[in-house]
Amino acid sequence: MKNLLGSSVKDLENVALDYGQAAFRGRQIYNWIYNYRNKNKSIDQIEVLPLDFRKKLINDGFKLSDLSVQERNLANDGTLKLLLSTNDNESIECVGIPTEKRLTACLSSQVGCPMDCKFCATGKEGLKRSLKASEILDQILFIENEMNRKVTNIVFMGMGEPLLNIDELLVSIRSINEDFQISQRKITVSTVAVPKMIKKLSAKSFQILSNCQFTLAISLHASNQKIREKIIPSAKNYKIENIIEDCKQYVRDTGRRVSFEYLMLSGINDKLEHANELSNLLRGFQCHVNLIQYNQIDEVEFKRVSLKNIQLFQSRLSNNGIAVSFRKSRGLDKNAACGQLRQNARKNNIV
């Protein structure tokens, strides 16, 4: 099957020409696909196209979507979490996080995840497969259609490890930038960090995108190697000092600062001595720390840190000269932790 989602306007003009149609027919398909107000996701419903052209495209296996909505969860704060089914009967999650001025789409890059982070529900069932670029992009359209708003910001922070699907990731970023008209500077790629892949990410970004302007966010979650290995088993293959050195090189190569995600876990990484240790680790290069409030998962023993202790931790980092912010969790009343919606669906035999 040939999914047209992710095709450039030139690609679609060529499709039209191949079928003996004028090039503007390709532009009509392009405008239909990327207009969030068009909620119909099948070629036969692109009514601006001649009926015989639509039939030929369908008969030849062209389509607009690989996904379907399986479950919707709308939190009291307006956060929308979708469980989407794939053509091979797998399921993935995506999230729409609205504010007055923006709509952020949190996207998955894989079905499941191989990293097995101890605080995350996604890794409990391992990796099934990586997503195609069209499946990544389709998540944006579903969020836009469901929320009737245009997505303004993108975070690859859903299910999966983006750097283990790097080619499809970058192809999707190209389309997000050029077709969805979302600046690279409003795109964040979050990674646990995989050996040799940070350097590969910057090199392939220049190769595929001609530049590298998106934000790299490292899910660090620890101030030293011992703690990191405790909560992220794969960390034993990539020393924390080596991650920092690779991030410094990334800053030199791209000119973009690196963000470090730090999930606050009570009694694990939340002491002021950890804040001092983290400060010493990160001091001296262009970076930012994003403290995150933990979403409780029943199957995991980790506990949430009090707001008071998070604020003390944040103040210590700031006093030590580290740029830091605190992100409160959204959608807490609706299975907010990544992987929970999918996991609950499996428990209830929905998937």
Give the pLDDT confidence score for residue 192 in this predicted structure: 96
Within 8 A by CB and 6+ apart from 298, the residues are none
Positive or negative: CA dihedral 49, 53, 59, 63: negative
Inter-CA distances, 178 with 34, 174, 346, Å: 11, 6, 36
In eight-state DSSP terms, residue 113 is -
At the top level of CATH, the class of 68-347 is alpha beta
Greater model confidence, 19 or 116: 19
Model confidence at 37, pLDDT cuts 50, 70, 90, reads: confident
Q: How many CA atoms lie within 13 A of 75 on its CB side?
A: 20
Give the pLDDT confidence score for residue 295 in this predicted structure: 82
Inter-CA distances, 15 with 43, 245, 253, Å: 13, 46, 37
- Residue 46, Cβ neighbours under 10 Å: how many? 19
Give the pLDDT confidence score for residue 297 in this predicted structure: 72
Q: Is the pLDDT of residue 274 over 80?
A: yes
Q: What phi and psi, each to the nearest 5 degrees, are found at residue 166? A: -65, -40
What's the CA gap between 271 and 313, in Å, rounded?
Answer: 7
By residue count, the chain amounts to 351
Give the pLDDT confidence score for residue 122 in this predicted structure: 78
Q: Is the pLDDT of residue 118 over 70?
A: yes
Model confidence at 349, pLDDT cuts 50, 70, 90, reads: low
- Counting residues of the chain whose pLDDT is more than 70, the rounded percentage is 92
Domain boundaries, the chain: 2-63, 68-347
| Active site amino acids | 93, 338
Do 238 and 193 meet the contact criterion of CB atoms below 8 Å apart?
Answer: yes
Six-digit token string for 39: 């909620």
Model confidence at 124, pLDDT cuts 50, 70, 90, reads: confident
Same-fold call for 2-63 versus 68-347: no
Is 2-63 in CATH node 3.30.43.10? no
SS3 231: helix
Greater model confidence, 341 or 236: 236
Give the pLDDT confidence score for residue 335 in this predicted structure: 54
Do 192 and 161 meet the contact criterion of CB atoms below 8 Å apart?
Answer: yes
- Counting residues of the chain whose pLDDT is more than 90, the rounded percentage is 84
In eight-state DSSP terms, residue 265 is B
Model confidence at 338, pLDDT cuts 50, 70, 90, reads: low
Give the pLDDT confidence score for residue 95 in this predicted structure: 97
In this prediction the pTM is: 0.91
Q: At what angle do helices 240-254 and 272-282 cross, to 10 degrees?
A: 50
In eight-state DSSP terms, residue 185 is G
Do 155 and 107 meet the contact criterion of CB atoms below 8 Å apart?
Answer: yes
Q: What's the average model confidence in pLDDT over 314-338?
A: 80
Strands 91-98 and 80-85: what pairing?
antiparallel
List pLDDT tens digits, range 220-257. 999 999 999 999 999 999 999 999 999 999 999 999 99
Give the pLDDT confidence score for residue 119 in this predicted structure: 86
- Look at 236-250, 292-306, 331-345 and tell me which has the smallest mean pLDDT: 331-345
Q: What's the average model confidence in pLDDT over 297-311?
A: 86
Q: Is the pLDDT of residue 339 over 80?
A: no
Q: What's the average model confidence in pLDDT over 295-310?
A: 84
- Look at 36-45, 92-101, 224-233 and tell me which has the smallest mean pLDDT: 36-45
SS3 219: strand
Give the pLDDT confidence score for residue 342 in this predicted structure: 53
What's the CA gap between 218 and 197, in Å, rounded?
Answer: 12
What's the CA gap between 116 and 215, in Å, rounded?
Answer: 24
Model confidence at 39, pLDDT cuts 50, 70, 90, reads: confident
